[in-house]
């Protein structure tokens, strides 16, 4: 299985060129190497000043044996290089089996052991890629998950607009885990960083709020409403930033508006009818006056009548 993993790492090229350094001159040093990569271990200052030295793996298997500038034996010579002048041991194409405890023994010319130092070498697969996935929850919160490929012992960290996430911005989760839930009003440039001891990769995503607003209002019946609601469907408060009045029922408004229009139309029709009636009454009066003025007048005295004159 380890061979398959190592082959995949090399094929993908995720660890190609990854080189780490560790100072093993201090007893108990903890060193890390990238799977498929290279590690440079500082075992001593200058091997030419040491009469004899031996380097063991897990206290039983001898890896390196030398005398001053002369390398007597190197079990890993096909993929390692020891440089006596600076005391560094470089291992290429690291595999899982290279992870172990290594012990250096130093001897004087009388074969007396002058002391020993140990170091622990751990092999980790580097972070190859990072994926971010976000989704809006029912109350406007945003759940964000960060996943990494290939990394051994990954550690996560989050920043928003260049600053570490605070507890005030998190609804749940820890800013050092791969799953967090952001509060409803959080937006900006969100970055998830995944790292281990031999690599680090970050992924950035621009996030915005899920369209929710916080309302705080009191209804006419005295009921207080204080909650997050979806802005586009909000029918509870007109202005969620202040104590608002209720939105008028649109059905009643339409009915009242229709009655008003009908009333105005009836008033116009009635005005027209009254106007027409007044016009015709005036017309009739004028006609009667004209007719009376053109009719021949009969004198009151009979002696002045036409009959009397004829006789």
| pLDDT single digits (tens) 96-111 | 999 999 999 999 988 8
DSSP 78: T
Q: pLDDT at residue 66 above 60?
A: yes
Q: Which carries the bigger pLDDT value, residue 152 or residue 211? A: 152
Nearest to 234 by CA among 208, 212, 266: 212
Q: Which carries the bigger pLDDT value, residue 132 or residue 245? A: 132
Q: Which two tokens stand for residue 87?
A: 């005391």
Mean pLDDT of 106-133: 92
Query: What superfamily would CATH give domain 129-210?
Result: Immunoglobulins (2.60.40.10)
By mean pLDDT, which of 12-16, 127-131, 158-162, 186-190 is the weakest? 12-16
pLDDT tens digit sequence for 90-99:
999 999 999 9
Nearest to 203 by CA among 151, 159, 150: 159
What is the chain's mean pLDDT, rounded?
A: 80
Confidence (pLDDT) at 185: 87
CA distance 261 to 251: 16
CATH 2.60.40.10 domain residues, the chain: 2-124, 129-210
Nearest to 167 by CA among 158, 207, 135: 158
Confidence (pLDDT) at 247: 40
Q: Which carries the bigger pLDDT value, residue 220 or residue 41? A: 41
- CATH number for the domain running over 2-124: 2.60.40.10
pLDDT band for position 150 (cuts 50, 70, 90): confident
Confidence (pLDDT) at 110: 87
pLDDT tens digit sequence for 224-267:
766 677 666 666 676 544 444 334 444 444 545 667 777 778 78
CA distance 103 to 63: 10
Mean pLDDT of 149-168: 91
pLDDT-above-70 percentage for the chain = 75
């Amino acid at each position: 299985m380890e061979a398959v993993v190592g082959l995949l790492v090399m094929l993908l090229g995720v660890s190609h060129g990854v080189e780490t350094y560790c100072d093993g001159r201090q007893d108990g040093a903890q060193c890390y190497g990238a799977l498929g990569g290279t590690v440079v271990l500082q075992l001593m200052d200058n091997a030419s000043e040491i009469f004899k030295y031996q380097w063991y793996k897990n206290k039983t298997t001898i890896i390196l044996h030398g005398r001053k500038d002369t390398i007597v034996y190197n079990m890993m010579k096909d993929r390692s290089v020891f440089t006596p002048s600076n005391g560094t041991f470089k291992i290429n194409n690291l595999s899982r089996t290279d992870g172990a405890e290594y012990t250096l023994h130093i001897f004087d010319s009388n074969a007396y052991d002058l002391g020993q130092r140990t170091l622990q070498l751990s092999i980790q697969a580097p972070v190859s890629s990072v994926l971010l996935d976000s989704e809006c929850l029912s109350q406007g919160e945003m759940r964000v998950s960060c996943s990494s490929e290939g990394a051994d012992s990954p550690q996560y960290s989050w920043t928003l607009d260049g600053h570490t996430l605070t507890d005030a911005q998190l609804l749940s989760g820890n800013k050092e885990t791969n799953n967090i839930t952001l509060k409803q009003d959080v937006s900006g440039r969100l970055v998830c960083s995944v790292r281990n001891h031999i690599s680090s990769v970050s992924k950035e995503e621009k996030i915005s709020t899920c369209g929710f607003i916080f309302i705080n209002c009191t209804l006419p019946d005295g009921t207080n409403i204080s909650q997050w609601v979806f802005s586009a469907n909000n029918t509870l408060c007109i202005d969620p930033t202040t104590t608002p009045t209720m939105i008028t029922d649109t059905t009643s408004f339409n009915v009242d508006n229709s009655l008003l229009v009908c009333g105005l139309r009836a008033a116009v029709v009635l005005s027209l009818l009254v106007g027409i009636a007044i016009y015709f009454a005036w017309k009739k009066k004028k006609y009667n006056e004209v007719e009376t003025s053109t009719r021949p007048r009969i004198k009151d005295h009979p002696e002045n009548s036409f009959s009397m004159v004829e006789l």
